[in-house]
């Protein structure tokens, strides 16, 4: 039984912000999401955010004027953080711990005021050897190619779909359509990943409002939170398999929670840090067999509105927006838009009822978090 809904969603319209601080941007998106929901700060009794200035979310709660909170959550999962937060907010609402949960994030990495920077235990060992984030994803891509015959052209299909969608988004950082040939001809960043296989980096942020059923009854345009699952995957002391992601665990948990299966999904929002992330996620989520992701994405499968499984219709992290390297927030916002019928006209999926959001944090080539959300339209 559904016990929580997303009532508000807002994405900051800018991709480079030079006249505001991180707290100011977070406040802007928080106000935007509450306004979209038809609620105010006085209604909020739960606050969910990650890696913002201040002690946990204490400093930001004071900055926003949230002084009567019954639930706080600062779970950190990188690109999976905000799908995690939505799942946690839905659970808190279901348990009666809060009734109106604000989930918000902001970062300004392009303007030199991002919120990242803490070191992990492995950094002192891997950093001196030159392992980079693109390099670690390239390890996964190369292994997938070796094991299953995946090609650079198949990876490029993911970028082609994202770029085709981004041309219809006036806020997208990159709006020019590309071809498979364009992708594989772009410079190598970390073999076998080319520049156009890699996500953008942007300033910005976004926010969501998760509410209880009784609150939702008085609000327009709500989306059901149907299921949630999360997991992590690390190197297990050296027992490394680069051919799967944490979605292989978080996905089945979310589907079981919702009582749904991959065949029920009409639209997917998948964190596209790199093209290989999307391809492997599709396999691990059960949309195709392991090793078949390359073949699955060929022929426009991911393109909206006519592809068999439209994805990232705002342009995704590959083309639209990737604030503070936490793409899960924007992926969730676009899924909400699709289920409300508010995506850009040329890429709006016809009558979508079920949407899946997949977030990843860290690196699928070393250690990563994963979170899966299943969302439903009003009539789902």
Task: Check: CB of residue 340 under 8 Å from CB of residue 205.
Answer: no
pLDDT of residue 366: 85
pLDDT (0 to 100) of residue 124: 67
Cβ partners under 8 Å of residue 202, min gap 6: 15, 16, 109, 110, 173, 321, 322, 323
Is-contact 78 361, C-beta < 8 A?
A: yes
Q: Helix (H, G, I), strand (E, B), or coil: what is residue 12?
A: coil
State how far the Cα of 140 lies from the Cα of 135, in Å rounded to an integer: 9
Backbone angles phi, psi at 2, to 5 degrees: -70, 130
pLDDT (tens digit per residue) in 317-375:
999 999 988 899 999 999 999 999 999 999 999 999 999 999 999 888 888 999 999 99
Spans of the chain below 50 pLDDT:
1, 117-118
Distances in whole angstroms, Cα of residue 161 to Cα of each of 55, 127, 231, 332: 41, 34, 28, 18
Top-level CATH class of 4-116+198-376? alpha beta
pLDDT of residue 325: 83
Of 86, 178, 116, 58, whose CA–CA distance to 322 is shortest?
A: 116
**Global confidence as pTM:** 0.93
DSSP bridge partners of 113: 108
Judged by DSSP in three states, 227 sits in strand
Quick one: residue 23, left, alpha or beta (phi over 0 = left, psi -120 to 50 = alpha)?
A: alpha
- The one-character DSSP state at 127 is G
């Amino acid at each position: 039984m559904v016990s929580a809904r997303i009532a508000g969603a807002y994405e900051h319209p800018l991709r480079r912000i030079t006249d505001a601080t991180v707290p100011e941007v977070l406040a802007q998106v928080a106000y935007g999401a509450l306004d979209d929901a038809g609620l105010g700060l006085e209604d909020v009794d739960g606050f969910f955010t990650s890696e913002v200035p201040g002690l946990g979310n204490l400093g930001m709660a004071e900055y926003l004027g949230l002084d009567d909170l019954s639930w706080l959550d600062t779970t950190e999962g990188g690109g999976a953080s905000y799908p995690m937060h939505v799942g946690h907010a839905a659970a808190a609402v279901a348990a009666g711990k809060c009734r109106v949960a604000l989930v918000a994030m902001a970062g300004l990495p392009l303007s030199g005021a991002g919120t990242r920077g803490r070191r992990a235990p492995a950094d002192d060992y891997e950093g001196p050897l030159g392992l980079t984030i693109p390099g670690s994803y390239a390890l996964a891509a190369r292994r997938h190619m070796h094991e299953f015959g995946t090609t650079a052209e198949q990876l490029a299909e993911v970028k082609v779909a994202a770029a085709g969608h981004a041309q219809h988004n006036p806020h997208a950082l990159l709006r020019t359509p590309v071809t498979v040939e364009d992708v594989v001809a772009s410079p190598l960043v970390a073999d076998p990943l080319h520049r156009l296989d890699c996500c953008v980096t942007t300033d910005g942020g976004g926010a969501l409002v998760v509410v209880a059923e009784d609150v939702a009854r008085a609000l327009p345009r709500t989306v059901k939170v149907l299921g949630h699952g999360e997991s992590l995957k690390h190197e297990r002391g050296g027992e490394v398999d680069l051919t799967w992601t944490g979605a292989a665990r978080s996905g089945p948990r979310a589907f079981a929670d919702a009582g749904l299966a991959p065949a029920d999904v009409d639209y997917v929002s998948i964190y596209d840090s790199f093209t290989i992330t999307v391809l492997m996620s599709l396999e691990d989520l059960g949309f195709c067999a392991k090793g078949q992701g390359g073949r699955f994405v060929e022929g426009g499968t991911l393109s909206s509105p006519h592809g068999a499984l439209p994805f990232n219709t705002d342009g995704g992290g590959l083309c639209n927006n990737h604030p503070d390297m936490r793409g899960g927030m924007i992926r969730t916002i676009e899924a909400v838009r699709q289920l409300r019928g508010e995506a850009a006209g040329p890429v709006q999926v016809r009558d979508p009822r079920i949407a899946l959001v997949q977030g990843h944090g860290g690196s699928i080539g070393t250690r990563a978090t994963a979170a899966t959300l299943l969302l439903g339209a009003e009539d789902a």
